[in-house]
Structure formats: C-alpha cells, structure tokens
Amino acid sequence: MKQAFKTFFLLSTILISTIDNLKAQENKVAEIDSLIKSANRLGLFNGNVLVADNNHIIYKTAIGFADASKKTGLTESYRFHIGSIAKEFNAVGIMILQEQGKLSLDDRISKYLPGLPEWAGKISIKNLMQYTSGLPDVKWATVKNDADNMADLKKLDKLNFEPGTDYNYNNNNVFLQRRIIEKVSGLTFNQFVQQKILKPCGMDTAIIDPTDADVLIAKGYNDAYQQDSLTVPISGWTCLTLADFYKWANCISTFKLITPASTRQILYPVGPNKQAGLGGGSMDGDKLATHIHDGSSRNYQALLTDNALKGRVVIVMTNNKQGNVYDINRAIQAILDGKPYCQLRKSILKYYQQALDTLNGGQIISFYNNLKPGMHMNTALIMNRH
C-alpha cells in the first residue's frame, strides 16, 4: 500500500510538472504572438517568423502583405529572398567538392577559371571564401547579368590589395565561387544547388532566381508601397519558405551535407566583425553550438539564429525592411528565457526624417524644441520593460 502511494505521488508530481511546463510554454508562445502582431500594427514588421525551442517548432506565423498591392496576405507557403544568407549555398557547395577531392581551398582560382587576368594566379579559393581576395565589388550600376560581370573581371587590371592581406566583403568573391562550382561539377550553379543541396535536405519548395512568372514569391516593397524587381544582376539566389529555411538550419547543425571539420572552416571568419561563408557562429568540439547569419536585398531582410545546444532556432523574414530583425530576435530570445525585453517602437528619427529633410538650420532647432516633450514620452515607452 505504501509503495502504491509513493508511485501515485511520483506520477502526480510528474503530471503537475508537465502541465506547468506546457502552460509556461503556451504563455511564451502567446507573448511572442503578441509581439509580432503589435509590430505589424505599428508598421514595424511584415513577413514570416518561425521559432523552435528544444528541437520543436513552437511558433510560426505569416503576417502582412505579399506585395505592394496590399491585396494578398502572406501565408507560410510564400518564398522570400534572404539576401546574403543565400551565399551559404555556394560556401557549402565548395566544401562538398573539397570533401569529394575535386578541389582544394588552397588552389588558385586560375586553375579553374583560366580566362581571367594574371591576378587570378594569386587568389586562392580560400581567399574568395574569406573575402580576402582583393577583388573590387560588382559594378551594380552597369552590370545586368553574369556575362556583364565576367567581362568586367576580365578587364580588371589590378586588385585592391594583395590577397590575404586585407578584408573586403563583396559579391565578386561569391560570383567566382559559383563559377568554380560550375567548372568543377559540370553543372550550372542552380542545378548544383538543386541536386546536391536542396534535394538531399528535403527542401522541396525552395526556388532559385525566381521571376514574376513564379507563384508564391513575396515581393519586396518600401513604406511608400513601391515594389522591388525580383531580378538581381548576378544569378544564384535561393529563396526559401519558413519550412525549408528550418530544414536548412537543421542540415547545417546535423552535418547532413558536410563534416564538422568542413563546417568549422566556413563558420569562423578571419577576424572579429567579419563574415564567413555561414555568416558566423561557434562550435563545441565537433558539435555546432551557434550559427547566426543575416541578409538584406533591397527591401528584403532575413535573419537566422540557431543555438543548436538549446535546440533553438529563430527565423525572421520580411519583404518590407525596417532594419529591426535583430530587435525582434532579441525580444523573442528574452521571452523564451523568461527575461525582460523592450517592446518594438517606431523610430523617432525615421518618423520625422521626411520633415527634417525639408527644413533649414533655424527651422530644425524650432522643430526639435517643439518635439522634446514627445521625445521624453516616447523614450519612456521604449524603455518600458515587460
């Protein structure tokens, strides 16, 4: 009888603890949902969000408009441009080919791209991956396609600095990585990504270089509802849904495509405040600890944060960039940790920027004096912690 009572007491304690944990998680999910909806009402967020904790998706939402017409609402099926995060696919592609023995990071790029000038004999693939090649950026004002950009590179007389001696984050490094993948694999870059990366990861809704003919593509637009073009001068940009973005994070953290050693090579940058192929992060031995990468393209912005040791992934994608994806992530992380956080508020400077642009010096001083009481009130609101 005494043993039966002990068993009953233990099971009751476990049940109560489970119910309390579920209730706490429900409260956190409700708070995250309130945060995102409030941001949308204030015009501070339009896009899709996914939150996973303890290796389980606990929150997903699509909020706002799919394009500048304001007629179509976003759903979780929409794909978004993710800016520089798409560069992860060429970084992983290079490492796949190195693991297959088809290239080495120490190879000079002239080995694979012989049509380039003499400087190609100085630049290694590793220089491209670390943005230490000395290449200038793409001439965005005049380049219309890959052929234009390759023609510019073939006419380039000299590098901005000797390879390996400095750092310059730009897209010519990415462009040449993609051309090397094509040369080594015998596939177009888009075919390689589709066959060797997206398919093995089960990312069946991802799309590369979408056009206006494709459906379920979120269209970027600014606060005046002027819509961006989908086309980008250089090719190879993968667009993702929330579901496929989460699969990608898991492919990286579980080393589905490349080994921990290869992952380490493209996770750590050459120095602080610099970018690696996977953005940045850390490893704990042969385990991924953290992975963080943000990307912007016109009015698109995206952020991936993965704390693999906690099984926690936060994905934020927007087609109406407000420059606050890190603020949203910080608030979500605080909610999950049961800590205080700052509510998202409109930027006073952004709100009044149009007026400031039309005023002279004296008018600006007068404007500021009239604004001060409101600024004090708004500052108090911004610092209000929940």
Mean pLDDT over residues 283-301, rounded? 98
271 and 310 together in one domain:
yes
| Whole-number pLDDT of residue 23 | 64
Residues 274 and 379 reside in one and the same domain? no
Q: Categorize the per-residue pLDDT at 377 as very low, low, confident or very high, splitting at 50, 70 and 90.
A: very low
Q: Global pTM?
A: 0.87
Of 14-23, 45-54, 62-71, 100-109, the least confident: 14-23
Co-location of 364 and 228 in the same domain: no
Residue 125 clears pLDDT 70, i.e. is over it? yes
User: Looking at the predicted structure, is the pLDDT value of residue 245 above 60?
Assistant: yes
Q: Could you please report the per-residue DSSP string of 79-100?
A: BEE-GGGGHHHHHHHHHHHHHT
Which band of pLDDT confidence, cut at 50, 70 and 90, is reported for residue 380? very low
The least confident of 78-92, 203-217, 328-342, 370-384 is 370-384
Q: Mark whether 349 and 323 lie in a shared domain.
A: no
Instruction: Tell me the range of 10-19, 360-369, 377-386 where mean pLDDT is highest.
Output: 360-369
Residue ending a domain, among 336, 360, 375, is: 336
Provide the edge-to-edge strand list for the sheet that holds 312-318. 56-63, 47-53, 312-318, 300-307, 287-297, 280-284
186 within domain boundaries: yes
In this structure, are 305 and 372 located in the same domain?
no
pLDDT for 178 beyond 90: yes
Q: Is the pLDDT at 115 greater than 80, yes or no? A: yes
Q: Which amino acid is at 374?
A: G
233 shares a domain with 374: no
Cα distances from 361 to residues 165, 370, 374, in angstroms, run: 44, 15, 21
Work out the pLDDT band at 374, boundaries 50, 70, 90: very low
Q: Is residue 355 part of a domain?
A: yes
Helix (H) or strand (E) holding 307, with range, is strand 300-307
| pLDDT over 90 at 385, yes or no | no
Same domain, 164 and 243: yes
Assign residue 178 the CATH number of its domain: 3.40.710.10
Q: Is residue 50 part of a domain?
A: no
Q: Is residue 349 part of a domain?
A: yes
Work out the burial of residue 110: count CB atoms within 10 Å of its CB; fewer than 13 is exposed, 13-18 middle, 19 or more buried: middle
User: 129 and 95, same structural domain?
Assistant: yes
Report the C-alpha dihedral over residues 164, 166, 170, 173, rounded to 10 degrees: -10
pLDDT band at 375 (very low <50, low <70, confident <90, very high): very low
Summary mean pLDDT of the chain: 90
CA-CA distances (angstroms) from residue 122 to 67, 87, 165, 296?
45, 23, 12, 31
The yes-or-no verdict on residue 314 having pLDDT over 60 is yes
Distance CA 346, CA 348 (A): 6
- Would you say residue 56 lies in a domain? no
pLDDT of residue 379: 36
Which residues lie across from 124 on neighbouring strands?
108
Query: Who wins on pLDDT, 173 or 386?
Result: 173
Which of 251, 147, 125 is closest to 193 using CA atoms? 251
Backbone angles phi, psi at 319, to 5 degrees: -110, 15
Residues 234 and 362 placed together within one structural domain of the fold: no
- pLDDT band, residue 351 (cuts 50/70/90): low
Position 295 in a domain: yes
Total number of domains constituting the chain: 2
Distances (CA, A) of 268 to 322, 342, 361: 28, 30, 47
In a domain? residue 174: yes
pLDDT digits (tens, 9 = 90+) for 12-60: 555 554 454 556 789 999 999 999 999 999 999 999 999 999 999 999 9
For residue 35, tell me if it sits in a domain: no
CA angle 240, 264, 288 (to 5 degrees): 70
Give residue for tokens 């066959």.
195
Cα dihedral 27, 31, 36, 42 sign: positive
pLDDT on residue 350: 58
95 and 243 in a single domain? The answer is yes
Same domain? 330 vs 360: no
End-to-end CA separation in angstroms for the chain:
49
Question: Is the pLDDT assigned to residue 338 strictly greater than 60?
Answer: yes
**Mean pLDDT throughout 298-302?**
98
Rounded to the nearest 5°, which phi and psi values hold at 45?
A: -155, 130
Domain edge (last residue) among 336, 354, 376:
336
Q: Which domain holds residue 284?
A: 80-336
Q: Are 282 and 380 in a shared domain? A: no
Q: What is the mean pLDDT of residues 319-323?
A: 98
Report the residue count for the chain: 386
Mean pLDDT calculated for residue range 145-171: 98
